[in-house]
Amino acid sequence: EDQVTQSPEALRLQEGESSSLNCSYTVSGLRGLFWYRQDPGKGPEFLFTLYSAGEEKEKERLKATLTKKESFLHITAPKPEDSATYLCAVRNPNPDNTDKLIFGTGTRLQVFP
Amino acid sequence: DADVTQTPRNRITKTGKRIMLECSQTKGHDRMYWYRQDPGLGLRLIYYSFDVKDINKGEISDGYSVSRQAQAKFSLSLESAIPNQTALYFCATSYRGTKYFGPGTRLTVT
């Protein structure tokens, strides 16, 4: 069964304390892995798309990496404004081309000053 | 201005009532989606539409219906609301596989 698992469920960091969030997936024929940021009461905001193992993308303090079985979202020297829930999703090839995304349940990140 | 807007942002309704959630977009995307989000379950697809004449069921379509009034408008209806439809509802558009989400509607069914 196609599945996306994110860990940890919650992460508390001190400002400046770097860490990584994990997204492991089991899908047949990955056609893209997506990272989103979601603030409380708001819709998910697109961060990155990764397509092949070894690929990396960066944006400010965030860097996403991809292997054949998992992706990491590395947060370097986080600030309180990085506090949010980070969602991972994978796109699965479907015969009917639904653009179906399989979402994980997210990692809730809190960064304290 | 937001590219994907949803109305209402919050709604409390009673069991058995019909309710409509509306979504508009200015991104010019053909593909539109409705998701619901529940704690611990992640985002799940309710319905999707690739153009005005194309409507498809997602993984949890029972109890819901949709209407694509125009390229920019996609509404979700609950014909007879029930308490387990209490959730956050998100509309999204898509371009080259990337989804762009609206701000969400928090729906409570009492």
Whether residue A42 and residue B41 make contact (CB cut-off 8 A), yes or no, is no
What average pLDDT does the segment A77-104 reach? Answer: 86
Residue A61: pLDDT band (50, 70, 90) is very high
Query: DSSP strand E in chain A: where?
Result: 3-7, 10-14, 19-26, 33-38, 45-50, 56-59, 62-66, 70-75, 84-91, 101-103, 107-112
What average pLDDT does the segment A4-30 reach? Answer: 94
Whether residue A98 and residue B56 make contact (CB cut-off 8 A), yes or no, is yes
Nearest chain B alpha carbon to A100:
B45
pLDDT of residue B37: 95
What distance in Å separates residue B52's CA from the closest CA in chain A?
A: 15
Mean pLDDT, 10 residues at a time, over chain B (110 residues)? 89 97 96 93 92 92 96 96 96 90 96
